[in-house]
Structure formats: C-alpha cells, structure tokens
Amino acid sequence: MKIKLSGKDFEKITVRDVIAGYKDDGENGVVGYGGKLNIRPAYQREFIYGQKESDAVIKTVRAGYPLNTMYWSVSPDGTYELMDGQQRTISICKFVTEIIPIKFDDGHEMAFNNLTSDQQKQILDYELSVYVCEGSESEKLVWFKTINIAGKPLFTQELLNALHTGPWLADAKRWFSRTGGPAYQVAEKYLTGTPIRQEYLEKALEWISGDQIENYMSRHQQDADAQELWQYFQSVMDWVKRVFPEYRKIMKGLEWGELYNKHKDDALNAAKLEQRIVELIEDDEVDNKKGIYEYLLTGDERTLNLRAFDDKTKIKKYEEQKGVCPTCKKQYKIDEMEADHVVPWSRGGKTVAENCQMLCKQDNRTKSGK
C-alpha cells in the first residue's frame, strides 16, 4: 500500500476544501471535498460523537492545535473514501455549515456565523493532517482495522462490516443501523445497545446464524438485499409479542431469537403464561425475575436463581442430623453435603428451616436430576 501525507507529498487539505460540497443525505451517504470525498463508506460506523466530543474538535481547530491524523483511500475512479476521521470531519462540517452554537473557552457561546470574518477565515484555512492511501480493497480493509485499534474502539460487528462490504450490508444497515429506524421501531423495548454501534444488526445475525455471524455474512455478502434477515427479525419480535403480550421491563435484553428458534412451534397459551408470570413475579423464592420467561419455555429452574438456604440454617440442620444423610444413611463432613428442599419449590416448598435437609452431594444431585 502507498501512503502519502498532505502538505508534504501532495497539496495541503484545509477545512475550506473539505466542507466544499458537503452534503449529509442520511442513509444515502455523506460527501464533501467538492463531492470527491465519500465521508461515510459502507464499512464506516454512523456518526456517534456527542456534543462534548464535537465541541472539543471545534475548540481544537479554533485554537490552531493539531487534530489527530485522518486517513483517506483512493478509489478506482480517482475519488476518495474516508477510512478514519469521520467523526472529526462531520463535526467540523456541521459546525461550519449549520447553526450550532458552541461555548468557547472565553465563555461566549457562538455558532460559525457569529464569528468575525478573520475568526472564520482562521477555521476555514486550518490545515488538516491527512494520509492518502492507495492499495487493493483487502489492503485498505486491513489498514482500516489497524488504524481503528486506538481511539474510540470499533465494536466487533463494525469490524465485520468492514470486511464484508457489498449490497447485502448496505441494505442490512438500512434496516438495522439507523437510530429510530425500522429495527429500532420494532424492538427498542426488547434489545439492549444502539443501532448506530451495529448492536441491533449483530444481535439479529447472532440469532439467525446460531452465532456464526462471519460465516453468514460471507455467504450473503453479494446478495442484492437483506430481506431474509429482516423478515426473520420481524418474525422473532412478532412471536414474542404474541406469546407474551403484556410487556415488562424485565423482558429487555433477553435472548429472544434463541428462544424463538427452539420454541416457535410449541403450543403456547398466552393467557395461561401471563397468569404464571404474575405468580412467579410475586414469588419471593424467585431471585431472578428476568429468568421467568426462559423458565416458562424450557422448564429449567436454574434460570430463576431460586433462593438458597443460608449458612446458619445449613449448620443447624447438619448438627440436628449429626452429619448423617437421610437418603444413604452415611455420615459426612458438612462441606461434603448440600442443603435440599424436602418439599421441592415446584410443589410449593419454601426456603425455610422447616423445609431444609442436608444431603450428601451425590444424593442431592441425583434427586435434582429427577
């Protein structure tokens, strides 16, 4: 790969140059530099800087201090793609082209159009440090991954996007990677994370592929669209809302896709499930309320993290039993035994001293497996 530095190996690049022809057309892309710079290629993340970070960029430029180096790559048609520096570039372009007031260190809050002509000129003439890279697509993507190790780190899915650009990814991001976009509208109450950090896309891919995301992306990279993934995702969320129509905050962040994959064909009665959910929420024995939904589908009590006997109760019962396991009638040390519910929780047993017995580990685990 050939790498050249602006101002040294070719002409300098100023803020004035970059904002020329600046246009943010949402999902259709962001361009600048007279239309010759693709500021948001398909492999790039969305704009994620907050106000504090954007302000810091503008203050740096106005003070004349150096910004971190940016990286552009040369496209086959002679235009450029911004490999690293999107957040800084957009922060600058938005400040100059839009009315965005910033409180500077002198205490005054001013937008670009509030500055004096010489102050505006100073910003427009600010020289950016830009490395321009020429090489194959594979070389550029490796370099993209390398230069993003530092700074605001890329999430795993963002790096996978960089390695699997194509029509499928462009369409997938239309559904899954926009704040307030289709996936957000459908599943915001059920998923954690944010679309712009590719967490919605990653979760959908994880579910549909059985956690073989890269394999799925490789197979579909050149597909014309991502309809298979989008329709699958909608099916998951439709199933959740049909089976568990009463929404609760504890439903957010559960692995709904995995549950859908395993139980979508089960005969489930939403009314009966809701009645059981209410009972389990009110049950003091259930420590992990989020595990209720998985328990109702799988029957695995471990998801509920049922309340355990405390050490005081265990010691008392051990002494009462004189260390003898009531099942095998053998004597054990206390650390060779485990507390057990005489009447299981599933049959109404409570975690109280009267319902506790100490069993040897083998007998307790044999009983638990029945």
Q: For position 345, which CATH number holds?
A: 1.10.30.50
Give, for 231, the enclosing helix (H) or strand (E): helix 227-243
Q: Could you tell me the pLDDT band of residue 80, with boundaries at 50, 70 and 90?
A: very high
In a domain, 217, yes or no: yes
For residues 316 and 134, which has the higher predicted lDDT (pLDDT)? 316
Q: Which helix (H) or strand (E) holds 71?
A: strand 70-74
Is 295 found in the same domain as 249? no
pLDDT tens-digit series, residues 100-138 = 888 876 777 889 999 999 999 999 999 999 988 887 767
In tens, the pLDDT along 242-299 reads: 999 999 999 999 999 999 999 999 999 999 999 999 999 999 899 999 999 999 999 9
pLDDT of residue 289: 95
Q: Same domain for 7 and 49?
A: yes
Residues 141 and 226 occupy one common structural domain: no
Please provide residue 269's backbone torsions phi and psi, each rounded to the nearest 5 degrees: -105, 110
Buried b (16+ CB within 10 A) or exposed e, 31-49: bbbeebbbbbbbbbbbbeb
Sign of CA dihedral 147, 149, 155, 159: positive
| Residue at 315 is within a domain | yes
User: What Cα–Cα distance (Å) separates residue 200 from each residue in 49, 109, 156, 167, 182?
Assistant: 19, 37, 12, 19, 11
Q: Is 333 domain-assigned?
A: yes
Q: Is residue 156 very low, low, confident or very high in pLDDT (cuts 50, 70, 90)?
A: confident
User: Is 42 among the domain residues?
Assistant: yes
147 and 6: one domain?
A: yes
d(Cα 167, Cα 30) in Å, to the nearest integer? 17
- The verdict on pTM exceeding 0.75 is no
* Domain end call among 154, 178, 195: 154
Per the domain annotation, does 105 fall within a domain? yes
Domain boundary among 128, 154, 180: 154
Same domain, 128 and 167: no
Q: Does residue 290 sit in the same domain as residue 201?
A: no
Considering the domain architecture, whether residues 207 and 223 belong to the same structural domain is answered as: yes
Q: State how far the Cα of 304 lies from the Cα of 293, in Å rounded to an integer.
A: 9
Q: Using CA atoms, how far apart are residues 136 and 17, in angstroms rounded to an integer?
A: 26
Q: Do residues 188 and 231 both lie within one domain?
A: yes
Q: Are residues 146 and 169 in the same domain?
A: no
Number of domains in the chain: 4
172 domain residue, yes or no:
yes
Per residue in 35-79, pLDDT (tens digit) is: 999 998 765 656 667 788 888 999 999 999 999 888 898 888 889
Contact 140, 194 (CB under 8 A): no
Containing structural domain, residue 198: 159-258
Domain boundary among 136, 154, 172: 154
Mean pLDDT confidence for 192-210 = 94
Apex 14 CA angle, 11 and 17, nearest 5: 90
- When the pLDDT of each residue in the chain is averaged and rounded to a whole number, the result is 89
Residues 80 and 144 in one domain: yes
Question: In the predicted model, what is the mean pLDDT of residues 227-256?
Answer: 97
Q: Amino acid identity, residue 94?
A: K
Place of tokens 């069993």: 359
299 in a structural domain: yes
Q: What proportion of the chain, given as a percentage, has pLDDT over 70?
A: 91
Same domain, 95 and 172: no
Residue 263, in any domain of the structure: no
Residue 219 CA neighbour count, 13 Å, CB half: 9
Question: For the residues of 187-225, what is the DSSP string, one character each?
Answer: HTTT--S-GGGTHHHHHHHHHHHTS-HHHHHHHHTT-S-
Q: Are residues 206 and 274 in the same domain?
A: no
